[in-house]
Structure 1
Amino acid sequence: MATETRGRMLEAAVQALQWRGVAGMSFTELLRDSGAARGAIYHHFPGGKAQLVAEAATRNGQDIRAHLAALPAGSPHAVVEAFLTFVRPVIEAATTGSGCAVAAVTVDPESDTLREVAATAFGSWIEQLSERLAAAGLPPREADGLAAMLITLLEGAHVLCRAAGTLEPFEQTARTALALTQSRYPSA
């Protein structure tokens, strides 16, 4: 039961980070959205908001990495296509105000801990995508570069699509990424 409550609180914190960021996250809404009792916050997160935010971003980062690990690795183009398909609904949510929970923790200039949480998560995503691309036949250096480009595409698309209120910046970049990988790695 305690683990279930803690898990619901972390999930509610991820949602709050996506929609309101660290500064906009309130304990009242978090408790309401998780169904937890008022005393649950400091019971499960004795470090308070800082601990809760760090653990939520870490968990979200691990969840994304797990999804990336499951991408098919038939060819580099297939990996890119599967990645873009996976992130499209997330970017679509950005058009109505959502964002990346991991990126949200980078906004606090006073928190090196949160910046490190984000750097670790982003690094793990790049590493995982690079592994999938290498499994699809790319040399490690090319796999690393393409993986970094895809994560940069994802994070940039969050911002541009949120600002524009449309999916078009993502769609344009996705088309270009697919065309480039198809021409560079037609049957690798």
Structure 2
Amino acid sequence: MGAKGAETRQRMIEATRHSIERQGYFGTGLNQILTESGTPRGSLYFHFPGGKDELVAAAVGQTSGLIDAALDAADFTDPAGAVSGLITLLGERLEASGWENGCPVATVALEVAGTNDAVQQACAQVYARWTEALRVILRTAGYRDADDLAVSLLALVEGALLLARTHRSRDPLDRAARVARALL
């Protein structure tokens, strides 16, 4: 695939990523993606022969970059600071978006993980990456229960994002950050 093809593919992924995070899987239509990305319909099936599911799976995989980068940059000697920093980053992003950009994976996972294998696998891979990154941070800091704690912290962050988005308030995130600090 040439540079132009790669650019077209990336525009479709970005349009999908933007839409699924705000509107979910079912609220995102192919016509909307094509319009927002400025690409012709033929490009969709050329780049994503599996159609919407393949495109959404690719978008889910790329949308995790924000959290991946935050976890990669975390101070491994301060797990509480790393989790609090992640919560702060996501809270700022959520509030700046008018309470529309919550977790880049959760909206889709909640809708289709039970019924769509391709999208479920993409969501599971992202969550596994985040859990592993947290586990490594915790293990490096000396926590013996790092596996359980990593899953619990990710669940805490995800739940706080959902509540913050629902209440349109940073309060659930602030509370989650305090609990994370208490746990760690």
Does the 8 Å CA contact 1:12/1:34 hold for their aligned counterparts?
yes
Tell me how far 1:13 sits from its aligned partner. 0.8
Q: For residue 35 of structure 2, what is the aligned residue in structure 1?
A: 32
Matches within 5 A, 1:12-161: 12-61=15-64, 64-92=67-95, 96-106=99-109, 107-108=111-112, 109-135=114-140, 137-139=141-143, 141-161=144-164
Tell me how far 1:18 sits from its aligned partner. 0.6
Does the 8 Å CA contact 2:135/2:149 hold for their aligned counterparts?
yes
> 2: CA distance between counterparts of 1:34 and 1:131?
37
Tell me how far 1:110 sits from its aligned partner. 2.1
> 2: CA distance between counterparts of 1:71 and 1:148?
17
Which amino acid in structure 1 is aligned with residue 11 of structure 2?
R
> 1: CA distance between counterparts of 2:59 and 2:84?
28
1:67–1:126 CA distance, 2 compared to 1 (3 A): same
Does the 8 Å CA contact 2:12/2:33 hold for their aligned counterparts?
yes
Tell me how far 1:5 sits from its aligned partner. 1.4
1:54–1:115 CA distance, 2 compared to 1 (3 A): same
> 2: CA distance between counterparts of 1:52 and 1:179?
40
Tell me how far 1:178 sits from its aligned partner. 2.0
1:148–1:66 CA distance, 2 compared to 1 (3 A): same
For the aligned residues, what is the CA RMSD? 2.2
Q: Count residues in correspondence.
A: 179
Q: For residue 179 of structure 2, what is the aligned residue in structure 1?
A: 176
Does the 8 Å CA contact 1:45/1:51 hold for their aligned counterparts?
yes
> 2: CA distance between counterparts of 1:48 and 1:123?
25
> 2: CA distance between counterparts of 1:94 and 1:161?
12
State TM-score, norm by structure 2.
0.84
Percent identity of the aligned residues? 35
Equivalent residue in structure 2 for 1:10, among 10, 13, 23: 13
Which amino acid in structure 2 is aligned with residue 128 of structure 1?
A
> 2: CA distance between counterparts of 1:39 and 1:79?
44
Does the 8 Å CA contact 2:87/2:177 hold for their aligned counterparts?
yes
Does the 8 Å CA contact 1:58/1:121 hold for their aligned counterparts?
yes
Specify every segment of 5 or more residues in structure 1 that has no aligned partner in the other structure, as ranges. Answer: 182-188
